[in-house]
Chains A and B, each alone.
Chain A
Amino acid sequence: MEVMQISGNDVAFLQEKAQVDVQISTAKLYPRNNKRSLENAIFTATIDKETAATCTYSVPRGGKAITGPSVHLAKILAQCWGNMRIEAKVIEVGDKHVTSQAVAFDLENNVAIKVEVKRSIMTRSGRMNDDMIVVTGNAGNSIALRNAILSVIPKAIVDKVYNSAKSTITGDISDATKLLKRRKQVVDGLIQTYGLTEKEILSPIGKAAIDHVTADDIVVLIGIGQAIKDGDTTVDEAFKGGKTFVHKTTEESEKERMATLINDATTQEDLAKLEKDVQPELLDLFNQKKEGLK
């Protein structure tokens, strides 16, 4: 009898391979019914407004709200699409980042997508503590998993389910009265829950007045609420960090204008034209420039 030496690593690999082989065989034996999978996903995602609301997320990035299908929707899709193997894990904890990796494997079509997401673990006061690093790693896993699943499942399917969820979120807003009512509900909800002002609520959607809030904006606002609940963003980041119009006083604008004109001046003649209008606070700058041009 020949005895083969098998290392621990080989055992794990063989076990994994056997598992995948069985899953692929099962998938081939019981292929999915695309139509039914889609119907099931839509049914689950739109079973009630609360569930539908978890299907979208909005986070502010670069002064705008990024909205899209959430990890919850991705999971619903994976469950209903079937014949999939999905996993996510933290693969590296570095000095400044954690790296999450997720794989979504469509066993029936033999398509696998691997996605990596890096999340910063630095705060203003230095590196996060271990607990927060775990939390950040989990958030990274969620994002990586969502991106992997949404890359494997056909976009047409994702969009159909996502749009159905959005319609459920906004409810019936087929006429102006209904839109007005829903808009009020959402805005009042945010004011009461997070103690926000109307201006703060309008900031991530870039609208000047509540009257201009559209159905799409409602989805964004509900999505932001969901992202806050999921820990993807904070109230401050979503509603108070967005850039808003900076309104300077006339005096401030005039001082800035004069400072620019003084700096622009290339001759004594240019400066002389400004002299009568120079504000007292800018006299030093003016005199320095005058000396410089001599």
Chain B
Amino acid sequence: MDFSKLLFRCSSLGYLLSETREKSNYQKWLDAKANYSKLLDEKNNMQQFNKDGKTLSLNFKKKNDAVIAAGKLETELYAVKDEIILSESAKTHLIDLYVSITTGRNTDIENKYMRKGNEVEEDAITLYSRIKKQMFRKNEEHLKNEYIMGTPDTWIGESIHKSIFVPDMKSSWDLYTFYRTYTKELSKIYFWQSIGYQWLTGAKKGSIAYCLVNTPQPLIDAEIRRIWYKIGQPTENSEIFQDLVKETTASMTYDDIDYRKRLLEYFVDWQDEYADKIIKYVKAGRLYLAQIHEELTLKQSS
């Protein structure tokens, strides 16, 4: 199986590029380089000989050995400084991806949050358009380059291929999850998704736009049914149940809230080095997939 041309979804870049707990090879090399320079300086400023002026001092010898060892380490690390160390979450994601590719099974089992996101995509674009006082259209075109692929929600610019700005809509499940986003930093998953879309469209700026739009009635009904089971399947006349129905419906519809207060937007700026970083990680990801495949094939056939 050939993974050398596999394209990664923009939504999965955040997993692939997630940081390792240990330092990257590049950082290790930088540290080793700094340490080597420091030891070298110390050595150069040391008294080289004993009082007799002929024999080398023991301290100088020790420092010299340390400099040689540090120089050796720096050279070794220099050779691998550009090698990517994949994090544990990246590896887990790649294994899931491997299973998905080789068995045709998908790990994205539908849940109510995803369902709402899909069902209200157009409503979220409408809300965004109203706030920006500008017509946004849903993009239907699937974009790809040699490394990544994705379908941005919408864009500003001449066309999706010549965008100047790519906002990505995220529909919050309810009021609480909407406001919780305000207190948190933008997740790395969404950050890299936006960067991926910017790379594909040529835009130099993007955003993650959290939108609070009404939950579709079938999802409200499903939520009411869940509550009904939870509180012991009361009769339809139960006052407690009726109150909960009212509360649930109110908590999932927001027409009473000014639409201008139903958007929280985080902007993400493009930097050219991001493309290099993605390329390195995509290559590392492809190699890892090939490695999993080789190892599993060996284990399963033996």
B216 touches A264 (CB 8 A): no
- One of A64, A248, A256 near B221 (C-beta < 8 A): A64
Instruction: Flag A172-184 by CB within 8 Å of B: 1 or 0 each.
Output: 0000000000000
Cβ of B246 to closest chain A Cβ, rounded Å: 11
A245 touches B216 (CB 8 A): yes
Instruction: Flag B212-237 by CB within 8 Å of A: 1 or 0 each.
Output: 00001111111011001100111111
Segment of B29-37, B76-84, B130-138 engaged in the interface with chain A: B130-138
- One of A66, A206, A274 near B218 (C-beta < 8 A): A206
- Residues on A with beta carbons closer than 8 Å to the beta carbon of B134: 261, 273-274
Interface of B, helix, strand, loop or mixed by DSSP: helix
A40 to B140, CA, bound (A): 63
- One of B135, B216, B229 near A274 (C-beta < 8 A): B135
A270 touches B110 (CB 8 A): no
A248 to B229, CA, bound (A): 32
A253 touches B126 (CB 8 A): yes
- Does A76 interact with chain B (Cβ within 8 Å)? no
B229 touches A216 (CB 8 A): yes
- Residues on A with beta carbons closer than 8 Å to the beta carbon of B234: 68
Instruction: Flag B85-116 by CB within 8 Å of A: 1 or 0 each.
Output: 00000000000000000000000001000010
Question: Would A63 and B236 be within 8 Å (CB), given that A257-B129, A261-B130, A261-B135 are in contact?
Answer: no
Question: Would A64 and B225 be within 8 Å (CB), given that A248-B122, A257-B125 are in contact?
Answer: yes
A254 touches B137 (CB 8 A): yes
- One of B129, B137, B229, B235 near A261 (C-beta < 8 A): B129
A203 to B218, CA, bound (A): 8
A207 to B221, CA, bound (A): 11
Question: Would A270 and B233 be within 8 Å (CB), given that A245-B218, A250-B138, A257-B125 are in contact?
Answer: no
| A window 192-230: CB within 8 A of B | 203, 205-209, 212, 216
- Does B245 interact with chain A (Cβ within 8 Å)? yes
- One of B135, B140, B221 near A250 (C-beta < 8 A): B140
A68 touches B122 (CB 8 A): no
- Residues on A with beta carbons closer than 8 Å to the beta carbon of B133: 261, 264-265, 270, 273
- One of B130, B219, B236 near A260 (C-beta < 8 A): B130
- Does B65 interact with chain A (Cβ within 8 Å)? no
- Does A95 interact with chain B (Cβ within 8 Å)? no
B233 touches A67 (CB 8 A): yes
- Does B119 interact with chain A (Cβ within 8 Å)? yes
A205 to B221, CA, bound (A): 9
B229 touches A63 (CB 8 A): no
- Residues on B with beta carbons closer than 8 Å to the beta carbon of A245: 119, 216, 218
- One of A203, A206, A207, A253 near B138 (C-beta < 8 A): A253
- Does A243 interact with chain B (Cβ within 8 Å)? yes
- Residues on B with beta carbons closer than 8 Å to the beta carbon of A264: 130, 133
Nearest neighbor of B133 in chain A, beta-carbon distance: A270
- Residues on A with beta carbons closer than 8 Å to the beta carbon of B122: 248, 250, 253, 257
B225 touches A206 (CB 8 A): yes
| A window 232-255: CB within 8 A of B | 242-246, 248, 250, 253-254
A150 to B232, CA, bound (A): 14
Cβ of A23 to closest chain B Cβ, rounded Å: 28
Cβ of A114 to closest chain B Cβ, rounded Å: 14
B224 touches A64 (CB 8 A): yes
Could you tell me which B residues sit within 8 Å of A by CB distance?
A: 110, 115, 119, 122, 125-126, 129-130, 133-138, 140, 216-222, 224-225, 228-229, 232-237, 245
20 residue pairs A–B, Cβ–Cβ below 8 Å: A62-B224, A67-B233, A68-B234, A147-B237, A159-B232, A208-B110, A208-B115, A209-B110, A216-B229, A243-B217, A243-B221, A245-B119, A254-B137, A256-B126, A257-B122, A261-B130, A261-B135, A265-B133, A273-B134, A277-B135
Given contacts A64-B228, A254-B137, A261-B135, 4 further A-B contacts (CB under 8 A): A147-B237, A206-B221, A264-B130, A273-B134
